[in-house]
């Protein structure tokens, strides 16, 4: 957009108009000046903080029962799945339940970031049309919200692990690294799908089926070690596999990380973030006429 001052004829005199004329140039996909863009994003960190707080307040995160529901929902699902596994497989132990619960909690971290990030741009039409700011702050803020919703589940899992009699070990500290990788992956997915949803609105309707499919083919209801050689290709095409398997190893089994799996998880996470960020920034200037 270019701002021009045009002369106005009044009583034979030339005067400048006080109101500029807006001339819209054709959109061309391309990256903005990145250094200036990231500086602008960092300068609006307080905006992202307040935006995240408003989202948390809207979901009653600041109340006891709001946080309780965030924990009860995956806990009830884990109990139902555990009963089904016991009925179908004929046996299930406390380790299986701890694995199921821990992986559900981490799966929901990424899933919540993806679900809330999908509509982060399309649901902020007024904000986008009336305020100049880096639009990538919107999916970034929703990912921060997903992280804060995940935090209460960590002490709950610790209590469950203690209650079922599983030991604790220093290897569990590697869980912070796995959480970081999962958070980066969730952010990349949120940025990617939020941009895609601007052009294809039906993506939000497809997400529940995608989440359910990913849950069933990821090592949540089962452990990665139980996957047969015929289905081993799922480990390579499913980004959740190395993340959730590493999480179960350190948090449930107290084992050290397999760094090859960590590398795969990091490639998926940072690769998704880079691709999503590139597509988002290259199309961002068109969002105002699309939302």
82 lies in a domain? yes
Beta bridge partners of 93: none
10 lies in a domain? no
Containing domain of residue 236, as a range?
A: 31-289
85 lies in a domain? yes
Prediction pTM value: 0.83
Give tens-digit pLDDT for 185-220: 999 999 999 999 888 888 888 888 988 899 888 999
Q: Which of 55-64, 74-83, 156-165 has the highest mean pLDDT?
A: 156-165
Can you tell me the mean pLDDT for 32-59? Answer: 83
9 lies in a domain? no
Distance of alpha carbon 153 from alpha carbon 158, whole angstroms: 9
Can you tell me the mean pLDDT for 127-156? Answer: 88
Residues written for the chain: 291
Number of structural domains, the chain? 1
277 lies in a domain? yes
18 lies in a domain? no
Of residues 89 and 162, more confidence is placed in: 162
73 lies in a domain? yes
Give tens-digit pLDDT for 88-121: 666 667 888 889 999 999 999 999 999 988 888 8
| pLDDT at residue 45 is higher than 50 | yes
Distance of alpha carbon 132 from alpha carbon 32, whole angstroms: 14
Report yes or no: 99 and 248 within 8 Å, Cβ to Cβ: yes
**pLDDT at residue 22 in the model:** 46
8 lies in a domain? no
């Amino acid at each position: 957009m270019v701002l021009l001052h045009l002369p106005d004829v009044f009583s034979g005199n030339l005067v400048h108009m006080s109101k500029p004329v807006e001339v819209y140039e054709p959109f061309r996909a391309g990256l903005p000046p990145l250094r200036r863009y990231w500086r602008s994003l960092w300068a609006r960190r307080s905006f992202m903080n307040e935006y995240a707080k408003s989202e948390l307040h809207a979901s009653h995160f600041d109340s006891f029962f709001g946080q309780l529901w965030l924990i009860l929902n995956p806990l009830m699902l884990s109990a139902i799945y555990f009963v089904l596994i016991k009925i179908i497989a004929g046996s299930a132990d406390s380790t299986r339940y701890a694995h199921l619960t821990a992986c559900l909690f981490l799966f929901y971290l990424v899933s919540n970031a993806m679900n809330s990030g999908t509509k982060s741009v399309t649901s902020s039409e007024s904000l986008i049309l009336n305020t100049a700011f880096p639009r990538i702050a919107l999916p970034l803020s929703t990912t921060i919200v997903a992280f804060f919703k995940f935090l209460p589940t960590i002490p709950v899992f610790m209590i469950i692990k203690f209650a079922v009699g599983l030991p604790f070990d220093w290897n569990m500290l590697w869980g912070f690294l796995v959480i970081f990788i999962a958070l980066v992956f969730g952010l990349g997915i949120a940025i990617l799908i939020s941009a895609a949803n601007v052009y294809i609105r039906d993506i939000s309707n497809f997400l529940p089926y995608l989440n359910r499919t990913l849950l069933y083919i990821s090592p949540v209801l089962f452990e990665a070690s139980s996957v047969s050689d015929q289905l081993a290709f799922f480990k390579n095409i499913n980004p959740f596999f190395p993340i959730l398997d590493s999480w179960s190893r350190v948090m449930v089994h107290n084992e050290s990380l397999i760094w090859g799996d960590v590398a795969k998880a990091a490639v998926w996470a940072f690769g998704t973030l880079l691709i999503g960020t590139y597509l988002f920034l290259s199309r961002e200037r068109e969002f105002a006429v699309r939302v």
